[in-house]
Structures are given as C-alpha cells and as structure tokens.
Structure 1
C-alpha cells in the first residue's frame, strides 16, 4: 500500500469514527425523549444511571488496558482531587442534567441545538480573558449563533416564544455547562488523559446525583423497549461514542474532529423530526443551520485558542467532550 493510500485510509477511518460517534450522541438525545414522553422516566434518574454505569464501565476498560494503578493515580495529589470533584459535579453532572432537562421540557432537537451555543460562549470567554476583541471568525460565529437562537426560540414570529421559558432556561444552562465542561479540565486532561478524567467525572457526577435521584428508585415503566433504549443511551450514546471520538484524534486533526462533530446536532434534529414527528418549520431549520455553521466556523478558525468540543457527548463525553 502506497503512502498516499495509507494516509487516505487513516483519514477515512478517523472521519468515520467521529461521524458515527456524533450520530450516536445525537440519537441518544432522541431516545431519551421517547423515555421521558412514553415511559414516564425522569431526567434525574436517567442521568444518574447513565453516568454511574458508563463511568464504571469506562474505568473498568481502562483498568484492564492500562492497569488499575494508572486510573487511581489521579487521586494522589490534593489539587487533582479537588479539580476532579469540581469537574465531576460542575462539569459532567451539570452538562448531562441540564441537557436531559432541556429535552424533557422541549425536545431533543431544540435541546441539542441550544447546547451547541457552548462554543460561542467559549470564544467570548477566551476573548474577554485575553482582553482582546473577537476575531472575524469569532465575531461571525457569535452573530450566527444569536441569529440561529432567535429563529429557534421564536419560530420566526418576532417577539413571541415558540418554546417554553423552562425549555429555554435549561437549554441555555446546558450551553453554559458545556462551556465550563470544555474549559475547566485543561490542566487535568494532559496529566491523566481524557478517558481517566471523564470516567471518574461520570462516577462522581452520578454518585452526587444519586443522593437526589437514587438509581434504585425507578420513576418510569420498564418494558423491553425502555430497557433497550436505556442500554442504547449508556453503551452506544455514551461509552462507544466517547471511545470512537477519542480514538479518532490519533488519525485526524482535532480541528477536523470538532468540525465533524457538527453531525451531532444535525442527527438529533433529523431524528426528532422524522422519528418523533417534532414540528420544525423553515425558520427553525434556518436557525439550526446558523448554529451548526457557528461550530463549523469556529472549528475552521486558523490558530484558534479553543479546544475541540466533545461528548459528552461528547459527547457530550466530548473534550466537548455526548
């Protein structure tokens, strides 16, 4: 195989991994919406179960691959312990709970698109902290994001809102949480790796939320369909999506992974409209396009100071991250 063919194959593999992971993140939001609307599950219960299960599985996989001592080492220094606890509660738990609360109050498409205002908040914060004016890319991204948000929440009807105030609150809170989630662990990630940091953050966030929403106090109706949906969110929409996104970073550039992660809000929107019949008119589609274009524009900025956004999911386990 020639060097040119080998490079093409690596890029194809990396691109495919990001797109598949992002689609899984996006679909997990739509699946969560069906659990809230059709099986009466509550966001708090689902988030606690998702974080605890995915976090334990992720750390177990890392322990097998790298050794238990590697994943436990992050707890040795007081400063690392404190930052990990703050990230687990203020980052991981916050971004997951606000996102699912926004889905419960509106729909997966609206929640995902509002959360993707996070990159705009990040670029504004970085410009403020550096005491500089936003670049042309950042300024264009802010304008696109604001226009897209206005179209989304108004449906093109001027001053009236097409979504509830509760949905708007949780959606914007999710964007703020995503920005914090992305920026805060900048010291932890290079020292301990994204897998270890995200795995422990999931366990910490899930444990913290369990005091309010214990996993053993089920709020919904268990059926074969709901069990499969919960399993999909945990395994495919969290664990596998994170690994695909993270592993793609060895094959393609971080800016490319961030750009391709735009597939997440697009897949969430299409799935919500086609699968669940969520009403989406021309103004909403234009608004969605503006927000997706914002992420693309900020990802393409030369020498950007931003970090690539995950999942959290990250997807969302994103180094958005989900």
Structure 2
C-alpha cells in the first residue's frame, strides 16, 4: 500500500473518531438515546464486523485460537471488561454529561498517566520532555475545565470525573493489551474485546430493549454513523494505515481527532467554548504532538511500551 493511501486512511479514521463523539452527543441530547444501550450496540456490531474482516484474511484461524488456552482467554476477558468496556462507557458518559470536545481531550491525557505510572513503577526514567508534557497537560486541563476562573468549573463535574476515568481506562487498555498483541492480530483482540464488553453490558441494558419505532430517520442516520463510521471503519482504517506508516506517524496524524471533536462541538452543536478553554485545548493538543513526535509513542522508554501496534478506541 502506498504511503499516500496510508496517510489518507489514518486521517480519515481520526476524523471519524472525533466526529463520532460529537454525533453521539447529538443522539443523547436530541433523541434521548440511552448511554448503556448505545455502548452495548456500538461494541457488539463493531466487534462482529472487525472479526468478519479478519475472517476474510489469511489469518482467519486466529479468531478461535485465542480461546484455546486459559493463558490467553482470561487476559482477553479482563481486557474486554476493564479495558475496552471501561474506555467506551466512561468516554460516552463524559460526552453525555458534558460534550465530545472535553471528553476527547481528557481521554488524551492517558499518555501522561502512563508516564507517571511507569515512573512510579521504576520502569522508565523521568526526562525533561516528560516533565514538560505533564506540565502542559496540567495547564491545559486547568484552562479547559475552569476557563481561567478558579471559583467555578466551566464543565459539569460528572463530565470531568467520567473524562478522567476514561483517561485512566485508556492507560490500562494501552498497557494491558501489549502481551496479547504480540501473539494475535489487533483486529482479533479488539474485535473480541468489543464483543466481551457488549455481552457484559447487555445484562444491564440489552441491545434489543429499544423503542425502534420511535427512532426518526435522522436518529437512525446518526446511529449508523457512530457504529459503522465512528467505530468500525475508524479503527479499521487506523490499523490498515500501519501497513505503510510507522506507529509514530500514525499516532501523530491521529492527533487530528481532538481537533475534529472540538470544532464539530463548537460549530455544529453550538456548545459554548471560552477563550481560556481554547488555550487549554491548544496546550493539550501541543502535548499530544510532542508525544507523537517522540521516538517511542507516549515517551515510554521501556520494554513495556513498543511501537509496533498501537491501539485506538475512541
């Protein structure tokens, strides 16, 4: 595959991720779509489609090989519940209580959390670059969440809590998946993780418990976009881009996701965004670019974080 095609795929996928979050907010506020139902349905359909793509590849046997030993099956279940499901639910809950822009930017604090975790575990050495990126993240968060006022928050507290939890879940998701990715294709791991998360959440809100007759054509269009384009195609394009781009390049180009989330939130949903919030947004996006431009993604200089197959889940 040509390099130009790889660049096109990763940028398109990142745009779908960012816009998908904003469209989800539209579903929550205008059509009263339940968060649990959307997450369950999104994970189930996207997971099945990703495994279907793998089925038509030369490595289709991997789809069922993951369940042959407890050594793989148990970590995969843990990854599906505390990685995939946790990331998806906390991200969507943050969007519901706030907006896609804030939720996406808070989720992108995960690399900073990974740095702090690995330094605490003495698996990496804290560098000046790390200190700078952590400082940028803290400044960015302060302006993003307060709009420069220390007396009040510009973002609802539940949105902040869910957004921070989404970053924590993404950090766990990223680190925990690495051993699994060394043995199986990412389409298999993520596809099954989505289905596992969907199966668990189905006990709380089954995907068939929905008044489908009340859905308008507009709502159905948005649902299809979130599930197909904002989840399945976005992830597929990102993974596909790694055939012609390095993980560093794909990570850098994928930084367009928070920009897409911010601009669609502000200009399509007309969400208020203060001057200091724009400064905070710029700080966080600048931090993302610094991390992506580093030799190893997320400035992790240890054997724990490899550059081979980064995951993306928004």
Question: Is the aligned partner of 1:85 residue 2:77?
Answer: yes
Match of 1:179 in 2: 171
Asked if residue 259 in structure 1 is aligned to residue 249 in structure 2, the reply is no
What's the offset of the Cα at 1:132? 4.9
Distance 1:21 1:52 in 2: 19
Gaps of 5+ in 1: 1-8, 311-317
Structure 1 counterpart of 2:150, from 150, 158, 177: 158
Give the 5 Å matches for 1:169-318.
169-218=161-210, 221-303=214-296, 304-305=299-300, 306=305
Structure 1 stretch displaced more, 21-30 or 163-172: 163-172
Label 1:32 to 1:141 Cα distance change in 2 as closer, same or farther (>3 A).
same
Give SS of 1:163's match.
coil
Contact 2:248 2:295 in 1 (8 A): no
Residue of structure 2 in register with 1:44 after alignment:
36
Query: In the TM superposition, what are the counterparts of 1:31-180 in structure 2 within 5 Å?
Result: 31-66=23-58, 68-130=60-122, 132-180=124-172
Q: For residue 183 of structure 2, give the secondary structure of its aligned residue in structure 1.
A: helix
If each structure's helix is expressed as a fraction of its own residues, which one has the higher value? Answer: 1
Q: 1:159 to 1:104 in 2, by over 3 A?
A: same
What is the Cα deviation at residue 68 of structure 1?
A: 4.5
1:13-32 pair list within 5 angstroms: 13-32=5-24
- Structure-2 change in CA distance of 1:87 and 1:51 (3 Å): same
Could you say what the CA RMSD is over the residues aligned between the two structures, in angstroms? 1.8
CA shift for structure 1 position 148: 0.5
Query: Mean alpha-carbon deviation: is it higher for 53-62 or for 9-18?
Result: 9-18
Q: Flag as ranges the 4+ runs of structure 1 deviating above 3 A.
A: 306-310
Shift of 1:308: 6.2
Q: CA deviation at 1:66?
A: 3.2
> For the Cα contact (< 8 Å) 2:235–2:312, is it kept in 1?
no
Relative to the length of structure 1, the TM-score reads: 0.91
TM-score (normalizing by structure 2)? 0.93
Find the aligned partners of 1:239 and 1:131 in 2 and give their Cα distance: 34
Q: Using the alignment, how far apart are the partners of 1:10 and 1:237 within structure 2?
A: 24
User: Structure 1 139/76 Cα, relative in aligned 2: closer, same or farther at 3 Å?
Assistant: same
Q: Quickly say closer, same or farther: Cα 1:217–1:33, change in 2 above 3 A.
A: same
Do 2:39 and 2:89's aligned partners in 1 also have CA atoms closer than 8 Å?
yes
The question of whether the paired residues in 2 share the 8 Å contact of 1:308 and 1:320 is answered with no
Matched residue pairs, number?
307
